[in-house]
Amino acid sequence: MRILVTILCALSILGQARAAENRPNVLFIALDDLNDWIGCLGGHPQTKTPNLDRLAASGVLFRNAYTAAASCNPSRTAIFSGRPPHRSGLYHNLQKMREVMPEAELLPQYFSKQGYWSAGSGKMLHYIIDPPSWDDYFPAKAKDNPFPHTFYPAKRPVNLPRGGDWQYVETDWAALDVTDEQFGGDWAVTKWIGEQLQRKHDKPFFLACGIYRPHEPWFVPKKYFEPFPLESIQLPPGYKADDVDDLPPAGQRLARNRYFAHIQKHEQWEKGIQAYLASIHFADAMLGRVLDALEKSPQRDNTIVVLWSDHGWHLGEKEHWQKFTGWRVCARVPLMIRVPKGAPGLPEGTTPGSVCDRPVSLVDLFGTLSDLCGLPPKPDIDNRSLAPLLRNPKAEWPCAALTHLDKPENYAISTQRWRYIHYAGDEEELYDLETDPHEWTNLATQPEHANKLAEMRLLAPKNLAPVHQSKP
Ligand SMILES: [Ca+2]
Ligand SMILES: [Ca+2]
């Protein structure tokens, strides 16, 4: 009897191992601070992103994907924990993830426990690795530093003078006289990721590639500046001079941060745009190295590829420079997903060249990947899966996407056509994307839109978690 039980146990373990072996790999790629200035999203006419475009063309491109939060830390924490800010209480960059959610099992650890090898490189969480969540990390899991060595000019700032203590030290731009290899940083990250894709694995992998550009500073090798001569630079298509006049006071305060005025004062608006385009072009080239490595990999036809950015970025739209806002230029993100045939949650795989306009949130990537890979749903999160949209991008989708700003009462809600922004004190904005894709006309105060405004209010999140306070 005991022998029989032992044999059955062994067979069961073997069966589980075999099920894990047949599961698809996941290549999880993040870019940092990338808005819609990529070819296939059409955000800026001069941008050069052949590799983002080829990845989008090979799977499903989401054109109405939104971040759960408009800054790095809460956005990334929501993606990795599957819990949005109004459930976790993590709303802004100064909060420490492990103080807010000490026990949370993050995406890579969840995959690891299900038989995957989980590894990563570069920025995935907010300037930490969180070592217990991973089986391996480059450059050094033990040091909890996600960044390989990166070249920096000796004398700083290079171009944009410091405006004061309020100015982020990395807001600066320059074409560097170095090769990609000498620059290091994302080049080293993508080299290591490429090596992992090429080598043999005895388990399926969850491999996370964090490309840091176009995050500031906008320093990249000079060849990436060359396609964008300064005299040719076009201003952001979403800029309108008197755009903030129809915003409520909270919106106006948020819009007019000091950066854009400072950059204009020093006549560097075009230089900044040029450097952002160059940084995107560089990030795209680094992505190309990863996609090329996957193409040559024995795992090519058994790997799900997901690419996202943690939030968008303003370059003068609404007199704003940076992030932290609820407008579409900041809340909307690139998202593309390619699923190979045979994935448990989508056996037919995705159809190349698909485009989806349904409003989706990055917080659903956790549930989506569990579903696609045939893992059990995680017990303590919503587990909404985007698989129905990956199967049919025009499928009915009764969900709106929620984007939080820095506190519970400040948020934006996105449906396919409408956008609603709410600030503490019940100040509101309403936009119709069908007639106004750049959100130039705030309809919240116009009586003929009162019904739509009331409809959007009904989508507001309930039972908002307070901002989690660290223990003294
Ligand atoms: Ca970011
Ligand atoms: Ca306006």
For the CA of 170, the nearest ligand: 1
Q: 457 C-alpha vs ligand 1 centroid, how far in Å?
A: 28
The token duo for 253 is 């305060």
Report yes or no: 430 and 441 within 8 Å, Cβ to Cβ. Answer: no
E strand spans, 327-394: 332-338, 354-356, 360-361
pLDDT for the residue 412 = 98
Instruction: Using pLDDT thresholds of 50, 70 and 90, give the confidence band for residue 5.
Output: low
Residue 310's SS3 state is coil
Question: Rounded to an integer, what distance in angstroms lies between the CA atom of residue 43 and that of residue 34?
Answer: 11
Q: What is the mean pLDDT of residues 118-139?
A: 97
Residue 179 placed within a domain: yes
Q: Residue 471 has what pLDDT?
A: 72
Question: Which CATH number is 120's domain given?
Answer: 3.40.720.10
Band of residue 432 on the pLDDT scale cut at 50, 70, 90: very high
How far does residue 62's CA lie from ligand 2's centre (Å)?
26
Per-residue model confidence as pLDDT tens digits over 177-226: 999 999 999 999 999 999 999 999 999 999 999 999 999 999 999 999 99
Torsions phi, psi for 346 (to 5 deg): -160, 70
> Nearest ligand to the C-alpha of residue 443?
2
User: Which ligand sits closest to the CA of 127?
Assistant: 1
CA dist 331 and 145 (Å) reads: 27
The CA distance from 314 to 24, in Å, is 37
**Per-residue pLDDT for 8 more than 70?**
no
pLDDT one-digit tens code per residue, 27-38: 999 999 999 999
Q: How many domains does the chain have?
A: 1
Active site residue 201: no
Task: Identify whether the C-beta of residue 78 lies closer than 8 Å to the C-beta of residue 69.
Answer: yes
Judged on CB neighbours under 10 Å (0-12, 13-18, 19+), 407 is middle
- State the pLDDT at residue 266: 98
Place 434 in a pLDDT band, splitting at 50, 70 and 90. Answer: very high
- Cα 111 to ligand 1 centroid, rounded to whole Å: 24
Is 72 catalytic? The answer is yes
* Nearest alpha-carbon partner for 165 in 258, 95, 266, 260: 258
385 in helix, strand or coil? coil
CB 256 within 8 A of CB 296: no
Shortest-distance ligand to the CA of residue 439: 2
How many Å apart are CA 312 and CA 38, to the nearest integer? 12
Q: Which of 174, 176, 170, 178 is nearest to 159 (CA)?
A: 174
State in Å: Cα 258 to ligand 2 middle: 19
Phi and psi at residue 124, in whole multiples of 5°?
-110, -55
- pLDDT at 470 (0 to 100): 76
Average pLDDT on 237-255 reads 98
Residue 444 clears pLDDT 60, i.e. is over it: yes
11: CA distance to ligand 1 center in Å? 46
- Could you tell me the pLDDT band of residue 21, with boundaries at 50, 70 and 90? low
Give the ligand whose atoms come closest to the C-alpha of residue 255.
Answer: 2
Whether the Cβ atoms of residue 269 and residue 23 lie closer than 8 Å to each other: no
3-class SS letters over 197-246: HHCCCCCCEEEEEEECCCCCCEEEEHHHCCCCCHHHCCCCCCCCCCHHHH
Strand residue runs (E) in 144-196: 173-176
Q: How far is the CA of 71 from the centre of ligand 1 (A)?
A: 6
Is residue 256 within 8 A of residue 263, CB to CB? The reply is no
Q: From the CA of 72, which ligand is nearest?
A: 1
pLDDT band per the 50, 70, 90 thresholds, residue 22: confident
Distance from C-alpha of 209 to C-alpha of 191, rounded to nearest angstrom: 10
- Distance between Cα 184 and ligand 1 center (Å): 20
Q: Could you tell me the distance, in angstroms and rounded to a whole number, from the CA of residue 91 to the centre of ligand 2? A: 27
- Ligand lying nearest the CA atom of residue 444: 2
Full domain range(s) for residue 116: 21-412
Euclidean distance between CA atoms 356 and 64, whole angstroms? 8
Polymer length in residues for the chain: 472
pLDDT confidence of 7, banded at 50, 70, 90? low
Q: How far is the CA of 3 from the centre of ligand 1 (A)?
A: 56
Q: Does 321 reside within a domain? A: yes
Q: Is residue 438 part of a domain?
A: no
153-161, Cβ contacts within 8 angstroms, sequence gap of 24 or more: 153/219, 158/219, 159/268, 159/271, 160/262, 160/263, 160/266, 160/268, 160/271, 160/272, 161/266
pLDDT band at residue 472, thresholds of 50, 70 and 90? low
Share of the chain above pLDDT 70, in %: 95
407 pLDDT tier (thresholds 50, 70, 90): very high
Distance CA 199, CA 306 (A): 20
**If you measure from the C-alpha of residue 413 to the centroid of ligand 2, how many angstroms do you get, rounded to a whole number?**
18
**Does 3 have pLDDT greater than 70?**
no
Ligand 1 centre from 125 Cα, in Å?
10
For residue 322, the CA-to-ligand 1 centroid distance in Å is 10
What's the rounded mean pLDDT across residues 107-118?
98
pLDDT tens profile 275-322? 999 999 999 999 999 999 999 999 999 999 999 999 999 999 999 999
For residue 169, how many other CB atoms are within 10 A of its CB? 11
What tokens appear for 223 in the block?
């060849």
Question: Which residue type sits at 143?
Answer: K
**DSSP string for 42-77:** TS-TT---HHHHHHHHTSEEEEEEE-SBSSHHHHHH
Q: Is the dihedral of CA 98, 101, 102, 103 positive or negative?
A: negative
Contacts of 21 (CB under 8 A, 6+ apart): 203, 204
Mean pLDDT of the chain: 95
Catalytic one of 72, 209, 356, 373: 72
**Of the listed 86, 126, 215, 281, which one is catalytic?**
126
The pLDDT > 90 percentage for the chain reads 94
- CA distance linking residue 136 with residue 232, whole number of Å: 44
